[in-house]
A and B are shown apart, each in its own frame.
Chain A
Amino acid sequence: MVLGVVLAVFFLLRLVPGDPARMILGERATPASVAALRSQLGLDQPLLAQLGDFAVSVFTRGDTGTSLVYNVSTRELILQRAPVTLQLVALAVLFSVVIAVPLAVVAARQKDKLVDHLVRIIPTVGLGMPTFWVGLLLIILFAVTLKWFPVGGIGTTPWDPLRSLVLPALSVSLALTPPLVRSLRSELLEVFSADFVTTLRAARIPERRVLFEHILRNAALPTLTLLGVNVSYLIGGTLVVEQVFGINGLGSLLFSAISNRDFPVVQGVALFCALSVVVISLLLDAAVYRLDPRMRRS
């Protein structure tokens, strides 16, 4: 899979209609500068040699080349920007779990009642909700009207960064909540009607303990799996939301690279994001495997 991802990123440059060097430099570039850039990007080599060089660079140095604008390796740029983005992703996951789990529990416990119907509307509305627009609404409500959070940026005091990540993380998590609520609710409905729950209730175990110690534990694993499925969506949404809130993460690196036509950086960010998805999914799979005694036994 990693090999496929590297290949895809390599061929991204070949999607450019015509000469990538000319596309980067613009129509009015001199033939000499186009030729110089072609040799810098290795475009004058045969395709297989280019691919070989690219693969060697990626696998030995973790690099997709040198930024055409900053003149440093793409790895350096990405490692500089990645922490903020990853913090944002982590916070968003936390928020969506905190929002989705109670909603799903309430809906599943009151199946076919009013609350359940209301919760079931969430996925229908959420599917067509642009994440960046949700971010803007949150700015209007919490930053402009209530003034609880900054409108954008990261701030200067030690407490500021966390505070300014709250609204962006919330926007991303609101996009993740609908699918999470939908699956968790049906997952919980299944657990509620399981034999072991009936047995626990018959043994007069207090309902609170049944819920917290038995049902939620059983519903937690599918939630983890589902988060794994949605990691890719989550990272993509985060990059866009960074633009809304003016956060200097991978998203702004990607978009500034796009406006500067800095091809190696665009490739680097795409590669980094795809590899993060692969790694995070693997980690979540491993976590599910460790947490689920049934999986370990088989």
Chain B
Amino acid sequence: MSAVSEPPVTVPAPPAVRTGPQTFLARARRSPTLVVGLAMTLLLLLSAVFAPWLAPFDPSAQNLTGGLLPPSAEHLLGTDQLGRDVLSRILFAGRTDLRIAFLAAIVPFVVGVLLGLVSGYFGGTLDYLIGRLVDTVIAFPFYVIVISIVFAVGTGEGGIYVAFALVGWVGYTRVVRATTKALRGSGWVAAARGGGLSHGRVILRHLLPNILPQAVVLLMTEIILIMVAVVTLGYLGLGVQAPTPDWGTMIHDGQAFITTKWWLSALPGLAVIYTGISLSLVGDGLGDAWRVR
């Protein structure tokens, strides 16, 4: 080995130290919140979709001599006052309640985001009017207005969709409007307009992608709120009507036996809470991955 060697080749060091995952997907994969939330949600959706195969009994099959049985090997969660299998009913109720919650969330999401974009982008009289409309809807306690609308339109699934279409958009409009207002002043919006793009194109192609993460995170919260509201309406007898199984009506029916058979009311509520936690974790995880506050 010679002491004299060639001058060491200097390899340029990588310019920046990577401090963390850079892309949404990379961040999402490393977020335990999101992974756990998605796993829990997947389990929930699978159990709802495959309820007919998973449920040990027909959820409506009555057995009047075998009513109010405590949990046993045959009926894992016992039976209700009409001898129907509680586990089967909880699984089938999940199908109903989740379907309604997801479907009822669509119209408010689309309407709310569009109104927020338009209101924040154009400002002026339109913005003023939309703002007053938002204030009015917000003044009504959520349950009071939803219950009143369901009463006026008619109880059951249809009434629920109308009620949420009328009041559910407010949350998105508020948030999206504020963000759009803040973004409207940025240079790239002026540049896009200056480049000859129409208002519609600026809103849909340039502003929408910027506010969408925020709206989707809010969507998760809204689905939970709608699900809880559907269950509450069912409890009050204004929501899903018998004989379709629903967590709310199950809790209501169990209340009559609360002193002796407490699990009849408690177990469907746990299903509601599980759903809430799953979707809430997905929302928080998405928020972290998209860096939405």
Chain A residues near B (Cβ < 8 Å): 1, 4-5, 7-8, 12-13, 15-17, 123-125, 127-133, 136-137, 139-140, 144, 151, 232-237, 239-240, 243-244, 254-255, 258, 266-267, 269-270, 273-274, 277-278
A232 touches B277 (CB 8 A): no
**Which residues of B217-259 have CB atoms within 8 Å of chain A's CB atoms?**
221, 224-225, 227-228, 231-232, 235-236, 238, 248, 251, 255, 258-259
Interface of A is mostly: helix
For the complex, what is the distance from the CA of A132 to the CA of B153, rounded to whole Å? Answer: 24
Query: Please, how many residues of chain B have a CB less than 8 angstroms from a CB on the other chain?
Result: 49
A137 touches B224 (CB 8 A): no
A136 touches B284 (CB 8 A): no
Q: Which residues of the partner chain B approach A236 to less than 8 Å between Cβ atoms?
A: 141-144
A132 touches B235 (CB 8 A): yes
Q: How far is the CB of A50 from chain B (nearest CB, A)?
A: 16
For the complex, what is the distance from the CA of A131 to the CA of B235, rounded to whole Å? Answer: 11
Chain A residue, CB-CB nearest to B144: A273
Q: Contacts A1-B136, A16-B152, A130-B269 given; indicate if A273 touches B141 (C-beta within 8 A).
A: yes
B232 touches A240 (CB 8 A): yes
Q: Which residues of the partner chain A approach B212 to less than 8 Å between Cβ atoms?
A: none
Q: Contacts A15-B149, A128-B227, A144-B258 given; indicate if A270 touches B144 (C-beta within 8 A).
A: yes
A127 touches B276 (CB 8 A): yes
B269 touches A137 (CB 8 A): yes
A277 touches B142 (CB 8 A): no
A136 touches B132 (CB 8 A): no
Chain A residue, CB-CB nearest to B276: A128
Given contacts A133-B231, A140-B262, 18 further A-B contacts (CB under 8 A): A1-B135, A12-B152, A15-B162, A16-B153, A124-B277, A124-B280, A128-B227, A130-B272, A132-B251, A133-B272, A140-B265, A151-B258, A232-B138, A244-B255, A266-B148, A269-B144, A270-B145, A277-B141
Chain A residue, CB-CB nearest to B220: A127
Q: Contacts A235-B141, A273-B141 given; indicate if A254 touches B147 (C-beta within 8 A).
A: yes
Closest 7 CB pairs of A and B: A128-B276, A236-B141, A4-B136, A236-B143, A133-B269, A15-B152, A235-B141
